[in-house]
Amino acid sequence: MATSVNLGYCPWLAGSTFSDVIGRADIDSTTFGPQTMGGVLAGGIGDLAVVTVSGMNINASPGTAIVPNSSGSGQYRVFNPTAATLTVPTAPVSPNSRIDLICVTVVDNGNSTSYSEVQLVTGTPGTSPSAPSLPTNSIPLAQVLVGSGVSTINQSNITDTRTWTSEAGGVINCPNMSSLPTGDIGTIGFDMVNTRYFMLTATGAKAFKTKPFAPAHVIGNTAATLTGNTGSGGTLTTLVFGTQSMSTSVTCDGVTDLEITIHWSGISMATPTATEVQFAIFIDSTQLDLITLEVGATSQTWPYAGGTNIYTTSAAAGDTPSAAAHTITWRAVANQQSAAESLSVVAGTGHLAYLRVTPVSL
């Protein structure tokens, strides 16, 4: 029975003979993980952008690229230290035009004649030309439209077709959203045109879903005065226990629901008076829930009607909070049939009132 497994070559082990296959696999695993993602490594000087120089000359800027091996056995790392000047071949005659392809190519002959290059692949002239096929072991940089009889290539004739990648755990900088890589699901990208981050999914770029927030907890340990109202339909106002307002803010991700808990020890009044006490839960300016309590109908002058109420937002109710910061508030009013009486929500040492907001676990 084997007690060990030989993993072979690892960079840079003294005395070992370089293995191209294992070397390419190492670039694949250390740069990206298991998913092969070829493209330009963003963030360097020039990033291999193709730009005009003069006349029919163009430059491929300095930069680094990762080129997947077409057979699927790992990747090559290619570095262009200086601007690579290429000359676009003579333009076709009227009425034809042509599309040439600029790409990074690795020529792997399996011996010392192997090399990498930035090359121009000449397209076929026509009245409706198309770009030539990408060579084996290549990634695209740009397409150049060569009009009939032209002697100068303008920047407007060059279409950027670079694909992008990043080191493991890095962010892929994308100058446009039409050349997104097909990398690991969850890879983070940056949309440079609209200055926003996104993540890759099986169906393309998607907005972030942030990790649910830590529970928010507001505690009251001093009685809160209830706003009195003669009659019904009084204005709901935010409860304040001493100096502690029953309000808190949380940042939501647009998909996680909230569990909102309010707890009170009781309701007190100096003279028992039939009263309708209403507690309401608001998210921003929207009322989510309303609790109605009937108190003061007996001769008792000490606290009545302590309790706890829990409200959970849901897709069914249509109140799952959007991806943004939201303020959760506990509001109350005392509606009385006779003259307004002084009421308070009881709180103190050993019998606290609180508002608690937690994300609903999936």
Q: Same structural domain for residues 202 and 230?
A: no
DSSP element (H, E) containing 290: strand 286-295
Which band of pLDDT confidence, cut at 50, 70 and 90, is reported for residue 34?
very low
Residue ending a domain, among 158, 186, 206, is: 206
225 in a structural domain: yes
Distance between CA atoms of residues 255 and 10, nearest Å: 44
CB 144 within 8 A of CB 119: no
Instruction: Give the model's pLDDT for residue 317.
Output: 94
Q: Same structural domain for residues 247 and 145?
A: no
265 in a structural domain: yes
Residue 156 DSSP code: G
**Token code pair at residue 299:** 């001769």
267 in a structural domain: yes
Q: Same structural domain for residues 172 and 109?
A: yes
Domain that holds residue 72: 20-206
Q: Same structural domain for residues 288 and 196?
A: no
Looking up tokens 């890759």, which residue turns up? 200
Domain count, the chain: 2
Better-predicted residue by pLDDT, 162 or 10: 162
| Range with the largest mean pLDDT of 52-61, 67-76, 224-233 | 52-61
Q: Same structural domain for residues 146 and 290?
A: no
Instruction: Give the model's pLDDT for residue 33.
Output: 46
Better-predicted residue by pLDDT, 192 or 309: 309
pLDDT in tens, 135-172: 999 999 999 999 999 999 999 999 999 888 877 667 87
117 in a structural domain: yes
The vertex-117 CA angle with 116 and 120, nearest 5°, equals 145
Residue ending a domain, among 206, 235, 257, is: 206
Give residues with Cβ within 8 angstroms of 241, minimum separation 6.
Answer: 220, 221, 222, 223, 224, 345, 347, 353
Looking up tokens 């028992």, which residue turns up? 272
Q: Same structural domain for residues 66 and 197?
A: yes
> Mean per-residue pLDDT for 205-229?
83
237 in a structural domain: yes
102 in a structural domain: yes
pLDDT in tens, 72-117: 777 888 889 889 899 999 999 999 999 999 999 999 888 888 899 9
Q: Same structural domain for residues 132 and 238?
A: no
Distance between CA atoms of residues 89 and 92, nearest Å: 9
Residue 9: pLDDT over 60: no
Q: Same structural domain for residues 181 and 263?
A: no
Q: Same structural domain for residues 269 and 291?
A: yes
Instruction: Give the model's pLDDT for residue 35.
Output: 47
50 in a structural domain: yes
**Token code pair at residue 58:** 């163009």
Query: At residue 103, what are phi and psi to the nearest 5 degrees?
Result: -150, 160
| CATH code at position 278 | 2.60.120.760
Q: Same structural domain for residues 167 and 105?
A: yes
161 in a structural domain: yes
Between the alpha carbon of residue 137 and those of residues 75, 110, 125, the distances in Å are 9, 13, 25
pLDDT in tens, 249-290: 999 988 889 999 999 988 887 777 778 888 999 999 999 999
**Token code pair at residue 267:** 């309701």
Residue 337: pLDDT over 70: no
CB 235 within 8 A of CB 280: no
